[in-house]
Amino acid sequence: MKKEVINDEIIYEKLFMIDEGKSKDLPLREDIRLLGRILGDTVREQEGEGMFNLIEQIRKSSITFRRNSDPSARAELERILNGLTPDATVIVVRAFSYFSHLANIAEDLHHSRRSRTHLIGGAAPRPGSIKRSLDLLEQERVDGQAVRAFFEKACVVPVLTAHPTEVQRKSILDIEMKIARLLTERDRSQLTPEETEANLDSLRRTVLLLWQTRMLRLTKLAVIDEVENGLSYYTQSFLEEIPRFYNRLEDNLGKSYPQLPEQGLPPFLRMGSWIGGDRDGNPFVTAQVMQQTLCLQSTRIFDFYLRQLHKLGADLSPTRLLVQMSDELLSLAQRSPDKSPHREDELYRRAISGIYARVAATARKLDHMQINRQEVGSAPAYADCAEFASDLNILTRSLESHKSHLLTRGRLRRLSSAVKVFGFYLAPLDLRQNSAVHEVVIAELFSAVSSVDYLKLGESERRQILLSELSHDRPLVCPFRTYSEETQSELEILRMAAQMQSQYSQEALPNYIISKTSDVSDILEVALLLKETGIFRPQVGLLGMNIIPLFETVEDLQKAPQMMEELFRSPI
């Protein structure tokens, strides 16, 4: 369904003093009226009646000018705005900005409300929904095996980037998330008068807090600050919703294609990130920053796993005095450090205690993580995430084979999906650098061991010397030479990348992206740098990182097919 647009007229009309009016979007208007009234009351209380009246005058003049293109209203608006003091200007800007934010919150809730009403009413699936997509596949007579094959090969990776225009503070985002939750509570719950008043008081407090919180940052963010901001989206949304998406898709797929074996989908959808790995134009992304980024990501997902395992242990209380359980579950429980006599018959809880202990040990080993809720005893760390997933599968198989299939379909299923998607590293981190930097680094490496002036070579000569260097194992980097700061930094980044792949898995750092690719040599230069740091081993045919060229100009795009064909002709 096409997203409705809340136009400026509605927003301005609803600012602080909102007229009554009928509309098909009446619930939306009521939410905007409520938030506008609360914000207006806050401005009057905090900034005084005079400032409130000034903002109201600006609002009314704006509406008159917009509706009627009234020159006198425009002149009045210009007179008011030009006469504002700097302090008053800030207050006016904040008032209109925050109202726009509040209107957006109400609009998001309204779209959710409309979608829920659509589903509750039993209407046909909407375009873009999972069910609608599967219905179209059935109409086109696409068989289940073809659908399954698609998901086996599909790869969808939305990527978070740190953008210099993103100035909204996490504090503001957190407050606005709370406002959204309070609005949702009013919308979806039948509240008593006392509960309604308590909700309203909470909204007033939260809007007051919003007004008293600094909107903009006073200092530029460091890269690690950007990483932390990006990680907040995982806590707010991705960690919970992506596993739910997989589960909904699997359920709908099973209904549309019941002949398919019941098994989880491969992790075709996962989040990606450039924050902490994108060095193009950002000299503050160093090897240490990249290492910190991966550690922060890994710590965030381990914290999630541990919290979910703790809750899962509380959930799964079946006793073998009443329910049969598998031998492999018994073996898993016996390996657990949980020897409490109070849980001797609760094999699932004992097994989960053991899994928890192993995940905690893994978090300490990989990230030196401080565990908030200590495990019941020591256990060996997992060698990799596949071992963790395997232990969760033991729980699932035991439940499914002993009339407890329903118990697998809640937290255990979502956790198993999360493990497939997020691994021990949360999100793949892409490395990116400009081709001009690679060119300078390669030139310096050649100058250290030969008289070759790489920067003066033509394209064909560059290809020849690069391919020659890639054809043998001899290192180009001289351990006895001191290189420039830029070259040293680039080499350290890739050495750290190789170390991080060994620590977290190759999937943690899967891609090397080349900005401004214009020649074959731009790609071969990166291949050589990867070879120098052990990520590319051409003699044994191992490439530990995808090399991804970006063709960013019309000319480069036109040359791209020929360039790629020449690369693919090369045995290397």
Q: What is the DSSP string of 87-119?
A: HHHHHHHHHHHHHHHHHHHHHHHHHHHHHHHHH
Shared domain check, 493 and 411: no
The answer as to whether 397 is a domain residue is: yes
- Looking at 123, 157, 180, which one is the last position of a domain? 123
Assess whether 305 and 378 both reside in one domain: yes
Which residue type sits at 521? S
* CA–CA distance, 553 with 357 (Å, rounded to integer): 52
Tens digit of pLDDT for each residue in 472-489?
988 999 888 899 999 999
Do 414 and 466 fall within a single domain? no
Q: Are residues 388 and 514 in the same domain?
A: no
Q: What pLDDT was estimated at residue 17? A: 42
432 strand-pairing partners: 278, 513
Question: In this structure, are 477 and 382 located in the same domain?
Answer: no
pLDDT of residue 275: 95
Q: How many whole angstroms separate alpha carbon 228 and alpha carbon 463?
A: 41
Output the pLDDT for position 2.
Answer: 39
Give me the pLDDT at residue 6, please: 43
For residues 517-533, give the mean pLDDT: 96
- b/e per residue, 307-334, with b = 16+ CB within 10 A? ebbeebbeebebebeebebbeebbebbe
Interatomic CA distance for residues 59 and 36, integer angstroms: 12
Q: What is the pLDDT of residue 278?
A: 95
pLDDT band at 381 (very low <50, low <70, confident <90, very high): very high
CA 224 and chain centroid, separation:
16
Helix (H, G, I), strand (E, B) or coil at 519: coil
Question: Does residue 163 register a pLDDT over 70?
Answer: no
Assess if residue 526 is contained within a domain.
Answer: yes
Taking the CA atoms of the chain, what radius of gyration do you get in angstroms? 29
pLDDT at 218 over 60: yes
Query: Domain of 413: which CATH number?
Result: 1.20.1440.90
Structure tokens at 344: 């001797």
Q: Say what the pLDDT of residue 51 is.
A: 95
Backbone angle region of 426, left / alpha / beta, with phi > 0 → left and psi within -120 to 50 → alpha: left
Share of the chain above pLDDT 70, in %: 94
Overall average pLDDT of the 197-218 stretch: 93
Q: What spatial distance separates the first Cα and last Cα of the chain, rounded to whole Å?
A: 49
Is residue 205 situated within a structural domain?
no
Same domain, 72 and 113: yes
Mean pLDDT of 326-345: 96
Q: Which long-range contacts (CB under 8 A, 24 or more apart) does 392-398 make?
A: 392/355, 392/416, 392/419, 394/326, 394/328, 394/329, 394/332, 394/351, 395/316, 395/329, 395/332, 395/348, 395/351, 395/352, 397/326, 397/328, 398/325, 398/326, 398/328, 398/329, 398/348
Instruction: Return the amino acid letter for 125.
Output: P
End-of-domain residue from the set 422, 455, 484:
422
Residues 503 and 399 in one domain: no
For the full predicted model, state whether its pTM sits above 0.85: yes
Lowest mean pLDDT among 4-13, 278-287, 359-368, 551-560: 4-13
The pLDDT score that the predictor gives to residue 238 is: 96
Q: Which domain holds residue 298?
A: 283-422
pLDDT beyond 50 at 353: yes
Give the mean pLDDT of 22-37.
Answer: 85
| pLDDT score at 189 | 87
Query: Percent of the chain scored above 90 by pLDDT?
Result: 73
The pLDDT of residue 364 = 97
Residue 86 and residue 162: Cα distance in Å, rounded?
Answer: 31
What pLDDT was estimated at residue 260?
74
Query: Does 447 lie in the same domain as 401?
Result: no
Yes or no: say if 398 and 351 are a contact pair by the CB < 8 Å rule. Answer: no
pLDDT for the residue numbered 116: 85
* Locus of tokens 């086996």: 152
Note whether 354 and 439 are same-domain residues.
Answer: no
Give the mean model confidence (pLDDT) for residues 178-203: 94
- Do 349 and 450 fall within a single domain? no
- pLDDT exceeds 90 at position 294: yes
Residue 100 lies in a domain: yes
Q: With a cut of 50, say whether residue 18 has pLDDT above it.
A: no
Of 422, 454, 486, the residue at which a domain comes to its end is 422
Domain count across the chain: 3
For range 511-540, the mean pLDDT = 95
Residues 451 and 413 in one domain: no
Same domain, yes or no: 391 and 443 = no
Mean pLDDT of 424-449: 96
Question: What local confidence, expressed as pLDDT, does residue 236 receive?
Answer: 87
pLDDT at 118: 81
Q: Using H for helix, E for strand and C for coil, what is the string for 208-237? A: HHHHHCCCCCCCCCCHHHHHHHHHHHHHHH
Residue 22 to residues 8, 35, 548: CA-CA distances in angstroms?
17, 18, 54
pLDDT at position 11 is 44
In terms of average pLDDT, the best of 1-5, 161-165, 323-327 is: 323-327
- Identify whether the C-beta of residue 110 lies closer than 8 Å to the C-beta of residue 24: no
Q: Can you tell me which residue has the tokens 């997020």?
A: 422
Cα gap 240→238, rounded to integer Å: 5
